[in-house]
Structure 1
């Protein structure tokens, strides 16, 4: 795919959604961090449902720490992998209080040193909470980039590196949101909704479907 096509794809996605936002509900960088940790192998909807009850009770490292692992589990037990997530979150809260005065650090290395926080989570927090032009690559973005040929790569790191190279600066901050939403609602895994896709004519996927879906 050439740069002219890439720019047009991003321009169309921007025109459709000029101010994209994560679908996770949060009000502080700390709440965002916890929600992203909970969202691994879980839907944003399930995370929002759990945090709507958790955050009114505990939405700071100190408050969450006071719940303890077992107390936290009661709020997040409807989410996949909740046992491991609860342990990582409590450890993360302890480290945030110990090293960063309870604040979420605006630093990649510091974020990735927290239990359960990998490159993707760090990218989401840096981008969404601190407006860094990072591009987090999840399964949706990996699929969209490889299927359309926008930024092909054998793994998420390679796709991220390709995106950082080919995405023009003006689109970098919001690129993650546009691509993830496109993958979540249009370029879905089993049967992409090509018939109603706004970038159909630019996409280089050879097996486009003809079905026009309403959504």
Structure 2
């Protein structure tokens, strides 16, 4: 899925702000380096204090700091092309009546694509409710970027698709997929499940 190109919302720019905006970018870099890419989120009281001190709206600051937590979402992403082959893996993980299955890897020249299948008893209304309000994230190691490409599901079944760049080796033995499932709305305060599927 191609990301929609950004378009400037207006052609107007007050050039007197240039040096200030340049300083903002420099401070963002310092903030990222100091936090090692894991800044967390300012406490509510800090947001309230800063808003009052600077004549800003608290929700504006909340939105600003929320966007700073999501920098990875803006990484350039490749579009898989030149399909090569499928690599069968057939690995499963079970947790509280839910079966997670990784069946195969689709290899492209510049990326890999996997689907994680999640199945449960479709007659269990509690599982149906819980599992239609959750999403899954994938990470491997520092070598690979992973991002979701959407999901589909009905009662008793959900499928999550992920793109991995660069492409995994044609012999992926030893590769570990770390999945993190979060309930919605997404927050560290909500329940989360982490599990690993390692390829033989």
Structure with the greater relative contact order (CA < 8 A, sep ≥ 6): 1 or 2? 1
Structure 2 length as normaliser, TM-score? 0.20
Structure 1 length as normaliser, TM-score? 0.19
- Higher helix proportion, which one? 1
- Higher strand proportion, which one? 2
Larger Rg: 2
